[in-house]
């Protein structure tokens, strides 16, 4: 079944269309997780899939993340392509051992004989006023783990195509979905993929400084860039899209155009993905830099209660403050 070419849709709808088309095209594709069947998932990403494809293809599992991922590993070893939904970011940790010691390593441990085509979908990040363990950003744990691909879309169009590309990949993919962007509608062309799975993309060209972001912070950086126009500043916004691997060639090309860079993410700045980008781009582009690569992100503390998350999460003002500091050198 070819998905319709829809001009405007939400990320939830785009993900649903990606799952539906993958299930329709390949009988080895399975969807599994807590409440993904009859309920359609807590965010309704899997809405209607069990009704159309049956309980054997779209399966409600027990509340046991380690068992869910362990079962997916076994299914993958038997030739299936399971897609696991973890309900919320903070619920990933009961399955952490299965992911980093088994899923990530079996290909290398078997000297390439075994393939693990498993996609683990994880809604992540804050901005929705959720309770404890529902707003975390654990992407650095998985990007640090060799053997896992780690990607995150920022738009409905990317959500559709990146999920389709992830499902067709023979390696395990951790697919982070920015829940604060789930219900924002945008134009999406579902007729052809806009980029390779791990390619970064310039969202907004600019000349004075590059804002590097991914997932939920791409939209915020676009807002910051548009606000900076009033001050006569032309900021480029680069969407990484992938955290393992990172498209450092695209990051370098952007830095060589603007000569200044600020990396923005929701996760804590301390040992975050921004640290790797800053270090690697400094090694590769030292003589192009007019200022240190700066970072904006969460604080080195547990994620706060929902009524305080606005104090924790990056804002347009915090991003522009970093821009001011970078341009002052």
Catalytic residue list? 134
For the chain, give the longest Cα–Cα distance.
60
243 near 197, Cβ under 8 Å? no
> Which of 204, 205, 210 is closest to 291 using CA atoms?
210
DSSP strand pairing (173-178 vs 261-268): unpaired
């Amino acid at each position: 079944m070819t998905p319709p070419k829809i001009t405007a849709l939400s990320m939830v709808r785009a993900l649903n269309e990606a799952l539906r088309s993958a299930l329709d095209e390949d009988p080895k594709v399975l969807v599994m997780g807590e409440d993904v069947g009859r309920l359609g998932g807590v965010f309704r990403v899997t809405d209607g899939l069990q009704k159309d494809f049956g309980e054997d293809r779209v399966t409600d599992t027990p509340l046991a993340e380690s068992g869910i991922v362990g079962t997916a590993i076994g299914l993958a070893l038997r030739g299936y392509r399971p897609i696991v939904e973890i309900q919320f970011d903070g619920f990933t940790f009961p399955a952490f051992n299965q992911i980093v010691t088994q899923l990530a390593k079996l290909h290398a441990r078997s000297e390439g004989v075994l393939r693990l085509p498993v996609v683990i979908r994880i809604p992540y990040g804050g901005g929705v006023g959720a309770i404890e363990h529902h707003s975390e950003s654990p992407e650095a744990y998985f990007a640090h783990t060799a053997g896992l691909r780690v990607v995150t879309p920022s738009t409905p169009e990317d959500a559709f195509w990146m999920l389709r590309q992830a499902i067709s990949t023979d390696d395990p993919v951790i697919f982070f979905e920015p829940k604060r962007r789930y219900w924002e509608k945008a134009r999406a062309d579902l007729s052809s993929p806009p980029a390779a799975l791990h390619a970064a993309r310039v969202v907004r060209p600019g000349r004075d400084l590059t804002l590097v972001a991914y997932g939920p912070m791409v939209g915020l950086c676009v807002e910051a860039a548009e606000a900076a126009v009033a001050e006569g500043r032309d900021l480029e916004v680069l969407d990484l899209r992938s955290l393992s691997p990172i498209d450092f060639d695209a990051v370098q090309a952007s830095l060589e155009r603007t000569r200044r860079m600020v990396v923005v993410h929701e996760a804590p700045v301390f040992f975050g993905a921004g640290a790797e980008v800053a270090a690697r781009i400094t090694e590769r582009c030292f003589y192009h830099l007019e200022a240190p690569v700066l970072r904006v992100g969460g604080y080195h503390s547990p994620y706060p209660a929902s009524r305080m998350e606005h104090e924790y999460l990056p804002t347009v003002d915090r991003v522009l403050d970093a821009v001011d500091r970078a341009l002052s050198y």
